[in-house]
């Protein structure tokens, strides 16, 4: 499956709701806490979220920006936000609150010059054209009014202006669970194959999403079908090989904390360890500094026991509001269960999976692909080949990097964390050639690790290495690179990151 999967949260009075055909009188409240819902979407493995401020759409100005801020702070999801955006101040408010993209509908109809100015000012990667359709005509102001603009000419005007992303909602289908307007979306894609079209309205089942995928619709938004249990998320995730690879997704910055005896350490080429602080305090600091996720690796778990590390995971979970992955000495499904129960969002398996690849299947069958990160430590040999290593890079194997990564994906891994042994700790840059090959050959996200020394190294990992995320340790731990400054730099290089 190639379609991008985007769950939706619609907000009224700070609550997660769904309407039927845009009718505020036909409102169902599904959860009083949208942040809790967003966390669940992230836990299930989704990487992007569509948030609609229905109060804002009705009031013609943003109302629920505080909820947006809470969602953005509590998750690593890439959030696009719409509803009530009428002014520059509204857009700036949405971006300050944590939106990566904004969806704009009514203004594109009523004030096209203003929309075109925003497209130029903020860039086509951050502006989504909202095209809400009823009887072939574009609707405005929270679907309460029909304009005199027919859909295809309306789109043509903005595609010529440089629009890349279009969210098209068939109002008569929205909230009805009657199936999506596939023929409408096919017509749009036939006319404008260059756009990233997001289909919205009517999705009722996995089969509806499969049908959209077969019709080669790039992306789909769904809400009510999920909330009412009509979508089998595990089956959806297993069939989707492009979760996290969709257009417009932000690159993630991930500090890594290697833990030994309850303290964070970092060495060069996995030796010469030195203390770098308390992992809980460092985790809190990174969360406050804008890190998208964290990784905690117990580098001596297989030698010194796991009780101290598990206790640390519990303390970390109490203090952090961003996702974190834990790894080190995970050999069984029971180990995974223990760490997830302690509060971890994901687990990273390395040596145990290499020794017994079935472990990946066991983890993903029980907990889902989204929790399983397969870490691969590999070294490039003199003949140019890349070989995998066990036990923190101490024991060579015959397995090669690319064939093992592909097998891990086929067994259900949700992400690959690739560390180059040649580059780790020496701060000369990531193994970008190998990263690019991994990214090209795999459909799941690839995390770059090993070699970060400058901001430019992160840029190259994303641009040359095509990585979905970049992990680093000492440059963050000792203040050599500040995450906020790194993100500002990457944005200046036209690399999309979460603010």
Q: CB of 465 within 8 A of CB of 488?
A: no
Q: Is 367 helix (H, G, I), strand (E, B) or coil?
A: helix
Active site residue 208: no
Q: CB of 109 within 8 A of CB of 140?
A: yes
Structure tokens at 220: 């789909």
Which residue of the set 90, 258, 292, 468 is catalytic?
Answer: 258
Number of other residues whose CB lies within 10 A of the CB of residue 311: 12
Return d(Cα 237, Cα 435) in angstroms, integer.
Answer: 23
Q: CB of 412 within 8 A of CB of 460?
A: no
Which residue of the set 53, 377, 424, 468 is catalytic?
Answer: 377
Q: How far is CA 461 from the centre of its chain?
A: 17
Considering just the CA atoms, what is the radius of gyration of the chain in Å? 23
Active site residue 460: no
* Burial (CB count <10 Å: 0-12, 13-18, 19+), residue 318: exposed
Q: CB of 130 within 8 A of CB of 82?
A: yes
Return d(Cα 400, Cα 389) in angstroms, integer.
Answer: 9
Using alpha carbons only, give the angle 62, 67, 73 rounded to the nearest 5 degrees.
125
Enumerate residues 6+ apart whose C-beta is below 8 A from 302: 328, 329, 351, 391
Return d(Cα 238, Cα 463) in angstroms, integer.
Answer: 28
Enumerate residues 6+ apart whose C-beta is below 8 A from 226: 7, 233
Task: Report which of 43, 89, 485, 66 is spatially closest to residue 290, judged by C-alpha positions.
Answer: 485
Structure tokens at 265: 């350490």
- Alpha-carbon distance values, 154 to 76, 129, 136, 142, 180 (Å): 34, 10, 11, 18, 21
Strands 372-380 and 386-390: antiparallel
Structure tokens at 60: 């013609």
Catalytic (active-site) positions: 258, 377
């Amino acid at each position: 499956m190639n379609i991008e999967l985007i769950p939706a949260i619609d907000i009224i009075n700070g609550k997660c709701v769904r309407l039927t055909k845009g009718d505020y009188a036909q409102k169902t409240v599904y959860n009083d806490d949208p942040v809790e819902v967003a966390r669940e979407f992230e836990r299930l493995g989704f990487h992007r979220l569509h948030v609609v401020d229905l109060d804002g759409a009705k009031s013609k100005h943003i109302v629920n920006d505080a909820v947006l801020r809470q969602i953005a702070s509590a998750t690593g999801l890439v959030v696009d936000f719409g509803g009530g955006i009428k002014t520059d101040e509204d857009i700036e408010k949405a971006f300050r609150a944590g939106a990566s993209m904004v969806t704009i509908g009514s203004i594109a109809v009523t004030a096209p010059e203003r929309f075109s100015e925003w497209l130029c000012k903020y860039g086509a990667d951050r502006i989504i054209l909202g095209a809400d359709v009823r009887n072939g005509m574009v609707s405005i102001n929270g679907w309460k009014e029909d304009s005199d603009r027919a859909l295809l000419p309306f789109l043509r005007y903005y595609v010529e202006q440089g629009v890349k992303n279009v969210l098209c909602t068939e109002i008569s289908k929205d909230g009805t669970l009657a199936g999506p307007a596939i023929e409408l979306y096919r017509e749009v894609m036939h006319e404008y194959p260059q756009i990233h079209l997001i289909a919205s309205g009517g999705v009722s089942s996995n089969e509806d999403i499969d049908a959209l995928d077969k019709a080669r619709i790039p992306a789909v938004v769904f809400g009510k079908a999920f909330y009412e249990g009509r979508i089998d998320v595990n089956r959806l995730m297993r069939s989707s090989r492009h979760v996290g690879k969709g257009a417009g997704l932000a690159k993630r910055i991930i500090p890594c904390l290697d833990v030994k005896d309850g303290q964070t350490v970092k060495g060069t080429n996995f030796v010469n360890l030195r203390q770098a602080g308390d992992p809980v305090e460092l985790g809190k600091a990174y969360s406050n500094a804008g890190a998208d996720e964290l990784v905690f690796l117990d580098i001596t778990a297989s030698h010194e026991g796991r009780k101290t590390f598990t206790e640390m995971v519990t303390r970390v979970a109490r203090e952090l509001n961003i996702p974190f992955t834990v790894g080190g000495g995970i050999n069984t499904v029971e180990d995974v269960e223990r760490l997830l129960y302690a509060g971890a969002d994901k687990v990273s398996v390395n040596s145990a999976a290499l020794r017994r690849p079935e472990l990946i299947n066991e983890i993903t069958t029980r907990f889902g692909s989204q929790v399983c990160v397969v870490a691969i430590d590999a070294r490039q040999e003199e003949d140019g080949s890349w070989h995998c290593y066990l036990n923190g890079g101490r024991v060579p194997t015959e397995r090669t990097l690319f064939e093992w990564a592909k097998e891990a994906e086929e067994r259900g891994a949700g992400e690959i964390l690739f560390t180059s042994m040649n580059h780790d700790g020496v701060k000369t840059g990531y193994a970008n050639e190998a990263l690019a090959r991994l990214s090209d050959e795999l459909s799941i996200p690839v995390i770059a690790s090993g070699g970060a020394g400058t901001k430019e190294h992160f840029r190259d990992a994303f641009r040359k290495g095509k990585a979905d995320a970049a992990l680093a340790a000492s440059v963050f731990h000792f203040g050599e690179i500040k995450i906020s400054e790194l993100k500002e730099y990457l944005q200046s290089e036209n690399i999309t990151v979460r603010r």
